[in-house]
Amino acid sequence: MASSVIYSPSTAAPSSSHTKLFKICNIKQQNAKFISPSSFLGKNLAISNDLNTKKLRSMKKRSSLVNCSVSPPAPPAALLFDCDGVLVDTERDGHRVSFNDTFTERGLGVSWDVDLYGELLKIGGGKERMTAYFNQVGWPEKAPSGDAERKEFVASLHKRKTELFMALIEKKLLPLRPGAAKLIDQALAKGVKVAVCSTSNEKAVSAIVSCLLGPERAEKMQIFAGDVVPRKKPDPAIYTLASTTLGVDPASCVVVEDSAIGLAAAKAAGMKCIVTKSGYTAEEDFENADAVFDCIGDPPEERFDLDFCGSLVVKQYAS
């Protein structure tokens, strides 16, 4: 079982290790300062001590000297983001609304409320979600009866739903989650390959990346989405495809996900995975995650950064 870092900004306090670090580094405050949990995470602490035992016992004497330096780890080879719930919290007020508007336009008499849609999100992929729902509760009267025709029917619904969803994105009615743009900028500045790996339609994901992250970031990022792989998350196919296409070792990749099925896909692909909980996924089981946060976060409320991502990869190779 993987060890996880779980951080809750409302309740977290420096751990005992941070407390010890504070005591060591403040032997002479003008030469060292306390490193906060958010900035300490992800960095290798190197402490050089030129004191002998007797001098340590007499720290009150101002002749003591401790030098603390922080050396950031090498960044991961690739940073892979899920889209919905990670870059943007789109599910409840974006995708769900667009599904319902499509059902209304087609006169299907179907509406997914907030709780129901939360259950349906356990199924990866919009077309797969609709198919599973109709198979369980019964197909609408206007739906065809043959399997091939029903597949086309679902595809047409999904196409229209994507158009409606893209209109929401283009109007910028759904903002980026805190820290997403910051972490992408840090990665691109260090030459880290950045990609988005999503079960959502490729057009919808591209719209989010180009409209909300901007064209300059978008042109430096690759998108793996929709039906680019035959099996959706929790199958690892999309992450395996990303690492192969980008030419990087899966073990050197760090994934940012928000759901249990995304976490399962990332781990099955042999990658490190950080979970940033979203509105629908807060209560899911993330025991196997390498770290769990409520978001990525922007300063001064930053939860983690690229150095922290790099530390996870260093840990893997060191273990």
Catalytic residues, by residue number, are 82, 84
Neighbours of 304 (CB within 10 A): 25
Within the chain, where are the H helices?
A: 16-25, 37-40, 53-57, 96-105, 114-120, 126-137, 147-170, 180-189, 202-208, 215-218, 237-246, 260-268, 306-318
Taking only Cα atoms into account, the Rg of the chain, rounded to an integer number of angstroms, comes to: 23
The rounded distance, in Å, linking the Cα atoms of 154 and 102 is 11
All residues at 6 or more sequence positions from 182 whose CB lies less than 8 Å from its CB, including other chains = 296, 298, 299, 302, 305
Neighbours of 181 (CB within 10 A): 17
Sign of the torsion angle spanned by Cα atoms 278, 254, 80, 232 = negative
> Which of 147, 123, 91 has its CA nearest to residue 278?
91
Task: Look at the chain and count its residues.
Answer: 319
Instruction: Classify burial at 148, counting beta carbons within 10 Å of its beta carbon; exposed 0-12, middle 13-18, buried 19 or more.
Output: exposed
The rounded distance, in Å, linking the Cα atoms of 228 and 226 is 6
